[in-house]
Amino acid sequence: MKIVACYKIVRDEADLVVGPHRTVTLDGCALRIGDYDLTAIEAGVQLAAASGGSVVALTAGGEEVRDSKLRKGVLSRGPDMLAVVAEESLGSADAGTTARVLASALGREGFDLVVCGEGSSDRYAQQVGAQVAARLGVPYVNAVSAVSAGSGVVVVQRTLEDEVETLEVTLPAVISMTSDAYTPRIPSMKDILGAGKKPVVEWSLADLDEAVPESSSLRSWLAKAAGVSRVGPERAPEAVPRAKVMYEAGQAGEFFSAVRQLMGKGAK
């Protein structure tokens, strides 16, 4: 089984600096692999180990996808190879654009099963898997908490709000994992050293458009999509105004009478 696990390189919001008037700067934030994507990679790697398949890790983005340390970080977690779509304009791509580009790469590369995370750590639109599947016309299941291989199918457990479905999905297909489905491994030193020797392919949009008629090319699609939406600056959220009345440990009595008052209860 040929498994493709998708991931996204995101900024680490822990480094986010908020300036005056709710301005934020993300440029100084470190890069990291999306939290939920590590779960997808782990699911793919475990499934490949159990079914005798291979795993390609796939991403699309701007300059950030060229970071060699992060490439090793992905490969040290078990995938056999890396496929990267790198194009400056994809650095700020939304889920729809990412899905369109990944679908093109997947059409070229071929696959039996695409495994996505629950959502990206930055946008968390939870749309890439669904839209990749719709573009490729293959079955899609989200909220997958467990996956096992059958003959020409995978059997998945899907955890919804109040029920769990067991589904048989005909391959090729796309699935998105729940955030806690598999615990991502901590790579060993051997894994990290071995990661540098694994193959990496890099495509530009022009590469993906090769042998594709202009009318259905990625670049014409992106050009058409570009004028449709205008995206404003990222800003810090408006703070919810709070009273911020503080009490020290010795003032627990006063604190609780204030809380009781809030709850519409009398004093003790």
Tell me whether residue 63 or residue 247 sits nearer to other proteins (CB atom). Answer: 247
| Helices 218-226 & 95-109 angle (0-180, nearest 10) | 180
Compute the distance between CA of residue 113 and CA of residue 175 in angstroms, rounded to an integer. Answer: 8
| Helices 128-136 & 95-109 angle (0-180, nearest 10) | 50
Query: Is 20 an interacting residue with respect to other proteins (CB under 8 A)?
Result: no
Compute the distance between CA of residue 110 and CA of residue 93 in angstroms, rounded to an integer. Answer: 23
**Given candidates 61, 79, 119, 184, which one binds other proteins under the rule CB under 8 A?**
119
Query: Is 247 an interacting residue with respect to other proteins (CB under 8 A)?
Result: yes
Query: Is 248 an interacting residue with respect to other proteins (CB under 8 A)?
Result: yes
Chain centroid to CA 210: 27
Tell me whether residue 190 or residue 268 sits nearer to other proteins (CB atom). Answer: 268
Chain centroid to CA 103: 15
Site for other proteins in 124-183 (CB under 8 A): 124-127, 129-131, 133-135, 138-143, 155, 159-170, 173, 179-180
Structure tokens, 82? 């890396």
Contact of 74 with 41, CB cutoff 8 Å: yes
* Number of CB atoms found within 10 A of residue 210's CB: 10
Site for other proteins in 200-239 (CB under 8 A): 228-239
Q: What angle do CA 47, 50, 53 make, to 5 degrees?
A: 70
Instruction: Tell the smallest beta-carbon distance from residue 240 to other proteins (Å).
Output: 5
Instruction: Tell the smallest beta-carbon distance from residue 108 to other proteins (Å).
Output: 19
Tell me whether residue 160 or residue 206 sits nearer to other proteins (CB atom). Answer: 160
| Site map 46..85 versus other proteins, x via CB under 8 A | ----------------------------------------
Compute the distance between CA of residue 40 and CA of residue 119 in angstroms, rounded to an integer. Answer: 10
Tell me whether residue 189 or residue 239 sits nearer to other proteins (CB atom). Answer: 239
Compute the distance between CA of residue 158 and CA of residue 162 in angstroms, rounded to an integer. Answer: 11
The stretch near other proteins (CB under 8 A) out of 41-49, 60-68, 196-204, 252-260 is: 252-260
**Given candidates 24, 31, 70, 201, which one binds other proteins under the rule CB under 8 A?**
24
Question: Cα-atom radius of gyration of the chain, to the nearest Å?
Answer: 22
Query: Is 121 an interacting residue with respect to other proteins (CB under 8 A)?
Result: yes
Instruction: Tell the smallest beta-carbon distance from residue 190 to other proteins (Å).
Output: 27
Instruction: Tell the smallest beta-carbon distance from residue 104 to other proteins (Å).
Output: 13
Amino acid type, 145: S
Residue 242, helix vs strand vs coil? coil
Contact of 147 with 47, CB cutoff 8 Å: yes
Instruction: Tell the smallest beta-carbon distance from residue 117 to other proteins (Å).
Output: 11
* Number of CB atoms found within 10 A of residue 145's CB: 17
Chain centroid to CA 125: 9
Instruction: Tell the smallest beta-carbon distance from residue 140 to other proteins (Å).
Output: 6
Query: Is 251 an interacting residue with respect to other proteins (CB under 8 A)?
Result: yes
Tell me whether residue 213 or residue 233 sits nearer to other proteins (CB atom). Answer: 233
Number of residues binding to other proteins, judged by CB under 8 A: 79
